[in-house]
Amino acid sequence: REDWWYPNFVEETCPGLPSWEALNACSDQFARADSGGKGVFIGGPVDWLKHDAEKVEALGMNFEVRNAGSAGAIWAELDSGVAQNKPVVIFNWSPNFIGAKYPGKFVEFPTHDPKCTTDASWGVNPNALYDCGNPAKGYLKKAAWDGMKDKWPNAYATLEKISFTNPQIAEMAKLVDIDEMEPEEAAAEWLANNESVWKAWTN
């Protein structure tokens, strides 16, 4: 999933979250000295083309979008907000290491429909596109060489059984991105600590 996201402590001062309407009602908490009273949303780089500004306009939100220059810049804004216990809302996606570093939730916008991006008459604003959230039920897919099943049947059978949850992938990513392990070290660490998860895959 990828959409607007906030760390859980924000709920202490902004009741009604994760509803987007509750977020909008609390927009002043996300304001900055130079935002003219509007809440500030930290989006991804402009070339990620996430249409956050269009969403703000379509839903009549009292927010302005500030596009960070990189994923690292988004995380820096998040770290700063958490360190100061200051409400922050950012563009985030799952799975990644943030889920293991900070508990948080995605903002719940009107449920996505393909028409939201192509038919202005669809949705809560009959005069605008992007009056909805991003798709919320995506999943990562496994892939294998089409000859694997015949050449390495046991490895293929294991691959078929492997299934990770978002929190498991977040923890793995944290070992590399936060704990600064090499991928091989992180894999060994995860395997050592999660035998109850992977043992059944090798039967």
Query: Which pair of structure tokens corresponds to residue 169?
Result: 């992938």
pLDDT value, residue 203: 82
Instruction: Name residues of the chain where pLDDT drops below 70.
Output: none
113 with 132: CB under 8 angstroms?
yes
pLDDT value, residue 192: 97
pLDDT value, residue 138: 85
- How far lies 180's CA from each of 109, 176, 184, in Å? 35, 5, 11
Closest CA to 20 of 96, 130, 120: 130
Closest CA to 158 of 200, 197, 186, 191: 200
pLDDT, one tens digit per residue, over 120-172 is 999 999 999 999 999 998 888 999 999 999 999 999 999 999 999 989 999 99
